[in-house]
Structure formats: structure tokens, C-alpha cells
Amino acid sequence: MKIIKRNGSEVTFDVAKIENAIRKANMEVPEDERLTEREIRFASLNVTDECMEAGHTVTVEEVQDLVEDQLMALDHFSVARKYIIYRYVQNQKRQKNTTDDKILALIECNNEEVKQENSNKNPTVVSVQRDYMAGEVSKDLTMRSLLPAEIVKAHEEGVIHFHDADYYAQHMHNCDLINLDDMLQNGTVISGTLIERPHSFSTACNIATQIIAQVASCQYGGQSISLTHLAPFVDVSRKKIRRSVYAEMETIGYKASPDQIDTMVEKRLHEEVARGVQTIQYQVVTLMTTNGQAPFITVFMYLNEAHNPQEKHDLALIIEEMLKQRYQGVKNEKGVWITPAFPKLIYVLEEDNIHEGDPYFYLTKMAAKCTAKRMVPDYISEKKMREYKLSRGETEGHGDVYTCMGCRSFLTPDRSGNGYDNVAKAKNYESGKPKYYGRFNQGVVTINLPDVALSSDGDMDKFWEVFDERLELCHRALRCRHDRLRGTFSDAAPILWQYGALARLDKGEKIDKLLYGGYSTISLGYAGLYECVKYMTGKSHTDEEAKSFALSVMQHMNDKCAEWKAAENIDYSLYGTPLESTTYKFAKCLQKRFGVVKGITDHGYITNSYHVNVREKIDAFTKLKFESEFQRLSPGGAISYVEVPNMQDNLEAVIRVMQFIYDNIMYAELNTKSDYCQVCGYDGEVKIIEDDGKLVWECPHCGNRDQSKLNVARRTCGYIGTQFWNQGRTEEIKDRVLHL
């Protein structure tokens, strides 16, 4: 069994240390008030048993809490008092500087908490360490000086989560929907160099990857681009190639027929499209941005976004190549094709690609094949999104279709009715057309819903009272995020604010006008709806008797967002938080505050957003239909999934799920497995087993447990992770039941 020290390092649990700590406190009281050696041993073994049953790797603080409980249970209050005083004094000493120890532990690669914080960062690499080191300093500054004490306390206790505190000291925001069209068509500037409109598709792809890298280094969340913005350059290349072919024919004196010319042109064009897509694929996975990881980029594939038939044809060509190359994967260091984490792909299901016989159904079949092997693309239903996302003046069924920013954060529909009157000064502004590209999200604060329920002790009136208090706390924390961005000069990130990614503001101009009126959003996150409802009603929210309460909780959060928005002209929006490391943090905090409550706090994780609990048996179609009601009440972003086995030999079933998504839910994905053992070559599912109280990954064929020699890809939060996960998230992955 392991224990996590205060600096984040993980060591073997030693019961002798507990016994010695009790003895020290014991010697501080009169002899007639002391514990016997037998009582010391009894208390220590009880603590050991509770640690083994905790379901996660315990921290030193948790162990000390258990020791206090045991001393008081034995009625040795004077010893408990001495133990608490000693603990308090030592804690005061540590408060003077905790950052140094964390950074040193990080550099020596024994800070388990940081090592498992981000499933797409390798903390043994110096560039990642550098980012984490800066993050620890920034977090320390944020918590000591920049945030109100009540928010810091709530964050530390797991009542709320103030996301990305390691970037808060800087004037940075969360995620973006890149206006790639403006940057490519009208030029941009990268590192002081003017980049003009490209003269070929391959050049446009190369510039796009440079933009992606620059943007990723100026914000901390996800970003998205649309392949539609690259599609016009296919015809640019087509015309360029045609001129070249004619010139070659003239040089050799050969008079080719129009059909021969067309064949040669299209062959070379396909080769260029393949090279361009490969540039995006390989550049993205090999780029290392200033935050120590590949850019968190989502690529949007939506045929009906094209402006004319020729552009749609060319867009289909790009999508086909993107799917083909992603199906193939990328080679690992051993030369074996594996599943990369990025770019994340989103494929829009629409009326001309969803059924057999539709003109673009061949692309949907390719998407299904790719999903079965590589877990992407994910799917947006054009039909449902047009029902939900209504800009000013639009009616249900005739709304807007656009991509999320990164894995799930969605912009609110354009409420201006006129593209916000081009407040961002974009050069591709179209009056009267809803605007999405160039907008962004300011940041996220998440409420811990199970904590609200447990704090109410099951009293429904008290629940709503506590809920409102916690929501107001989140509101104040979100205002901190907003106010931190106010007054930011465009010079802070020229690629974003001056050169087209989000705006074309003047040098020295403040970004404030982009923070109001709905141009950008700010997100109230939520987590653990299942556990919240389970505690308050005794039933899962899939039960009809509990469902109405679950929906009322969702509606209440939406109502609060609307209330704040009306008062402040800031687009607050409800967001299904993609908990990664925080699912473990929230679970540990709940256990510390409320103990182990069966079915609520007895695991090392809590359920993401509105999702059906991972342990609950439910079929794929029922799950998607059920969650669609909750997804609609999560307009700031959410994604649903179904867990499936290897589906490569059952693509008909994959397509059936996709067709169900089209008719029933706006945004969903299929989770499968994609693993490889570098030791023995096994390419099936790498298993999770328990060893000495810790969950570890093991090749079922050869027993290899060396993570550096295992390629494991799992979707955990709407995106794929490949660098493994903390114990809480690993437990959640292990507990997942199949839905198909």
C-alpha cells in the first residue's frame, strides 16, 4: 500500500510511523491519561485498515485525520489534543513555503499528483517540467495574493474548483474558435513576419499548423479550426497544377486531350491534398508548445459549411484524406502504427451523408471505420444542433451548426443579430450573418454537486439553500476570471488580438469590448449530478422518480446563468466539466469531509457532468436518448458517449449508433480501446489490475507494467489521453461497463 506525501511524492505505507507519532503525543500528557502500547497498536491498525479500504492512495493529511478519529474514539482526548496541536504547529511551519518542495519533487519526477495531472503531458520531459514549475509558482501567487480567501478555501476543500489556477496570474483565457478563414484569406503575422494569402493547399496547411502552435502558446485551453477554411485552396492548387501541366505538355510538344489533362491534374491534386493533410496530422502531434504538450486542437468537418458545390466537393476530398490518414494512425518509436491523441476530429452528421444512398454516405462509412479503430471522429448532429442553437431571429430547426472550442466548450448563439457589428474588426465580416469564428471562452469554475447534497444532509429545503450559496460563490469566482482579463492589452498576445485569430485590434488597444455582449462566454461548470441525485433521492437519475429532480437541478443552474447574464451583459453558460485530475480531487475531498458514504463517496472519482454512472448497466441507445435531455440543458458545452468493445468487424452497428445520434442527440462519441505493448507486440486491450492497493496497467500477454513501453489510448474527458491517469480516473476507466 502507498501513501502520498505533502510534496506529492508516493512512498510505501509504514504503520510504524503512525505508532511513533501517537507515542510522541502520548508522552506529552500525564501518565494516567496515556494510551497503553496495546491501544497504540490497536489505533494504528485501525487506521491502516481504513486506508486499505479507502479505494484510493491516501495522503498524509487523510492519515492524520484518521489518527485523530481513533484517539477520540478511544476517549483519550488529551492525547488527541496534543496530537492536533503538534500537527497545527508543523502545518504553520510548512505554510511558509510549500512551493519549493513541490517544485523539487517535480524535477526529481516523484510528485505523483503532478505526474498524473494531465494525460497528455509527460512530466519527465524538461519542457513539461518547466511549464509545471511555472505553474506551481503561478498557483502559489494566485492562491496567496490574487484570489479572495473564501474562493481559495472553497477550492482547496473541493467545494468548487477554480480551473487552471496555474495560468491565472497571467492575463490568459481558456479556449478559442479560430478565425482561420480571415487569417488565410487576408493574411496574418507570425513572430513579426507577414504571412500573405497562400498560393497552394499545401502551403495553407503549413500556415494553419503554425497558427495552431502560436495560438496554443497564448491560451491554456482547446482550440478548433474548420477544414472548410482550407477548402478554397484546393481549387487554388487545382488551377496552379493545371497551368503547370499545360506548360509541361507544351514543352514536350504533346497535345493532350481535355480528359487526359483532367486526369493528370486530379492525380497531382490528390497527392497535394494528401501532403497537406499529412502536414496537419504530423505537425500537430510533433509540435511542442510552451505549455509542454502538443496543441489541444479540434478539426471540424462539416460539408454543408461549404459556400458552393465546387468548395463542397473539395471539402469532401480533404475530409476523405483526413479520415484515411487518421485511420492509419502514426508510428511510435518502434515503428508501429498507434492512435494519436490529437488532432481531435469532429464529423457532422447531415442529411446528405447519414443514410445509404446519400451522396456523401461513403464518408460516413469511412468515419465509422476510423472510429472503430482510432476512437475519432466524434459526431455532431446537424439536425439536433439546428434545433438547439438559435441566433437572434432564427427558429427551431433553422439554427446554426458550429464546432466546439477544443473538446466540448460551446459558444452561445449569436444574440446580436448582426455578427456583433464586427467588434473584433475581422476582415471577413459579413453583415447580418451569425458570427462564431473568432470568439472565445474566458474560463471555468466548477461546482461540486455531491458536496451540495451531502452538506444538506438530505434535507431538500436546505439543499436549495446550500445550492444557492455555492452558486453565488462560483459566480464571484467567475467574476474574478472575468476581471482578470479586463484591461488586457492586445499586445499581450498579438496572434490572438491583433492578427486575426480572434480579432484585429490596434496595438495598445484593450480587449474589454470582446468580454461583453455575448462575444465571448464564461462557464459555470458542474460535476457529479448522479451522486447528487442518488444521495438526495436514493435513486439514480435514470430512474423516473429521480429524473425530475435531476432536471430541476440543471434548470436551476441555467436560471442562475441567465440571471447573471441579464445583470452584467456577460454570457455565463452552463458547462459539463471534463474532469480529469479533478474527479479524483473532488472524491478525496468528499471522503475527507463526509467519510465513506456507500454509493456516493466510496470510489476514487465522481461522475462527469450529467453522465450516467460508469458502473450502471444501460444500453447505448437508452443512454444517449436519456442524456440528450440533459445535454440540451448544458448549452455551454457537454458531450455524451457510449462504451463499446472492438467494433472493427461490426461497422454496421457503429453506423447504426451514428444514425441514432443524428436523430436524438447533438454531440456524442463512441469509446473503444486502442493499445499496444512494445515488449511483446500485443495489440489488444491493456488491462488495469490492483497491486498493493494501487491500480496499475498491465499487458495481459506478457505482464509488462512499464508505462514507457505501453501505448495506451483512452478517451476520458471528451478527448483522448495517452500519458496515463491518476488513481481516481484509472479506477473510473476500470469500472466502465459496455453499452453495446
Q: Which residues pair with 694 in a beta bridge?
A: 691
- Burial label for 83, CB within 10 Å (0-12, 13-18, 19+), is buried
**Alpha helices for 174-257 (secondary structure H):** 180-186, 201-216, 232-252
Residue 507 and residue 510: Cα distance in Å, rounded? 9
Cell of 333: 518509436
441 belongs to the catalytic site: yes
Q: Are strands 160-162 and 440-448 parallel, antiparallel or unpaired?
A: antiparallel
- Taking phi over 0 as left and psi of -120 to 50 as alpha, with beta for the rest, 556 belongs to alpha
> DSSP letter string over 67-92?
HHHHHHHTT-HHHHHHHHHHHHHHHH
584 belongs to the catalytic site: no
Who's near 25: CB < 8 A, 6+ residues apart?
A: 71, 79, 80, 82, 83, 86
Q: Which residues pair with 229 in a beta bridge?
A: none
Residue 502 and residue 481: Cα distance in Å, rounded? 19
Query: Which member of 406, 576, 718, 721 is catalytic?
Result: 718
Cell of 366: 469511412
For residue 499, the SS3 value is coil
**In the Cβ-directed half-sphere of 700, how many Cα atoms lie within 13 Å?**
8
409 belongs to the catalytic site: yes
Backbone angles phi, psi at 14, to 5 degrees: -130, 105
Query: Which member of 385, 404, 405, 480 is catalytic?
Result: 405
Query: Which member of 220, 575, 610, 667 is catalytic?
Result: 575
Query: Which member of 26, 111, 174, 224 is catalytic?
Result: 174
**If we measure between CA atoms, which residue out of 611, 660, 603 comes closest to residue 640?**
611
Cell of 153: 478555501
> DSSP letter string over 681-709?
---SPPEEEEETTEEEEE-TTT----GGG
174 belongs to the catalytic site: yes
Who's near 544: CB < 8 A, 6+ residues apart?
A: none
- Taking phi over 0 as left and psi of -120 to 50 as alpha, with beta for the rest, 417 belongs to left
405 belongs to the catalytic site: yes
Q: How far is CA 482 from CA 69, 135, 146, 488, in A?
A: 42, 20, 13, 11
**If we measure between CA atoms, which residue out of 52, 76, 77, 72 comes closest to residue 62?**
52
Residue 718 and residue 60: Cα distance in Å, rounded? 32
Q: Which stretch of DSSP H or E encloses residue 576? A: strand 571-576
Query: Which member of 441, 608, 613, 704 is catalytic?
Result: 441
Q: Which residues pair with 671 in a beta bridge?
A: 643
Helices 60-73 and 77-95 pack at an angle, to 10 degrees, of 160
220 belongs to the catalytic site: no
Under DSSP, the state recorded for 513 is G
249 belongs to the catalytic site: no
Sign of CA dihedral 616, 618, 624, 629: negative
Under DSSP, the state recorded for 490 is G
640 belongs to the catalytic site: no
Query: Which member of 111, 119, 224, 409 is catalytic?
Result: 409
Query: Which member of 51, 133, 172, 175 is catalytic?
Result: 175
Are the C-beta atoms of 497 and 511 separated by less than 8 Å? yes
Cell of 549: 429532480
Residue 695 and residue 683: Cα distance in Å, rounded? 21
Angle (CA) 679 682 683, round 5°: 130
Are the C-beta atoms of 316 and 302 separated by less than 8 Å? no
Q: Which stretch of DSSP H or E encloses residue 550? A: helix 544-568
First to last CA, the chain: 35
Q: Which residues pair with 641 in a beta bridge?
A: 669
Q: Which amino acid is at 432?
A: G
Query: Which member of 19, 320, 580, 732 is catalytic?
Result: 580
Residue 56 and residue 601: Cα distance in Å, rounded? 11
CB atoms closer than 10 angstroms to residue 398: 11
Residue 232 and residue 84: Cα distance in Å, rounded? 69
Query: Which member of 407, 474, 561, 717 is catalytic?
Result: 407
664 belongs to the catalytic site: no
Q: Which residues are catalytic?
A: 174-175, 405, 407, 409, 441, 575, 580, 718
